[in-house]
């Protein structure tokens, strides 16, 4: 089972293939997911410290490109947990002042993923 390490060194194991946004949410990382996991809002963004996936969905690429965020963050709603990862979720619900974190994302990646290689130079330099 993949081991995920997140904010404040919370560490947990998750079933292989689980969406990262749900792995975080269901294991004590109360992050935002305002669009319900559809690669539209970018509030589920995380910074990778280790284990950044080499694949990304076309939807993630398009959204991060449009927001000028490519190479800085990844969208946890567009990532499946298939190996160990260390991440920092940047937008936490308790800090947001919002009434709710957003609709719960589906168990599977939405929209239907089209997988592409993460472009050269996308991966941020680790700490």
Residue 16 Cβ vs ligand FES, minimum distance, rounded to whole Å:
20
Residue 64 binds ligand FES (CB under 6 A) = no
Segment interacting with ligand FES, rule: CB under 6 A, options 40-48, 79-87, 92-100, 106-114: 40-48
Of the candidate residues 41, 64, 85, 89, the single one contacting ligand FES (CB under 6 A): 41
Residue 90 binds ligand FES (CB under 6 A) = no
User: Smaller CB distance to ligand FES: residue 116 or 127?
Assistant: 116
Residue 40 binds ligand FES (CB under 6 A) = yes
SS (H, E, C) the chain: CCEEEEHHHEEEECCCCEEHHHHHHCCCCCECCCCCCCCCCCCCEEEEEECCCCEEEHHHHHHHHHCCCCCCCEEHHHCEECCCEEEEECCEHHHHCCCCCCCCCCCCCCCCCCEEECCCCCCCCCC
């Amino acid at each position: 089972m993949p081991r995920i390490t997140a904010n404040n060194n919370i560490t947990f194991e998750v079933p292989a293939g689980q969406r990262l946004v749900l792995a975080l949410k269901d294991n004590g990382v109360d992050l935002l997911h305002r669009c319900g996991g559809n690669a539209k809002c970018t509030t589920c963004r995380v910074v990778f410290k280790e284990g950044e996936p080499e694949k990304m969905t076309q939807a993630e690429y398009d959204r991060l490109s449009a927001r000028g965020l490519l190479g800085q963050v990844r969208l946890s709603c567009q990532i499946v947990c298939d190996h160990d990862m260390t991440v920092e979720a940047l937008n936490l619900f308790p800090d947001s002042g919002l009434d709710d974190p957003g609709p719960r994302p589906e168990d599977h990646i939405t929209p239907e993923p089209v997988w592409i290689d993460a472009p050269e130079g996308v991966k941020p330099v680790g700490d």
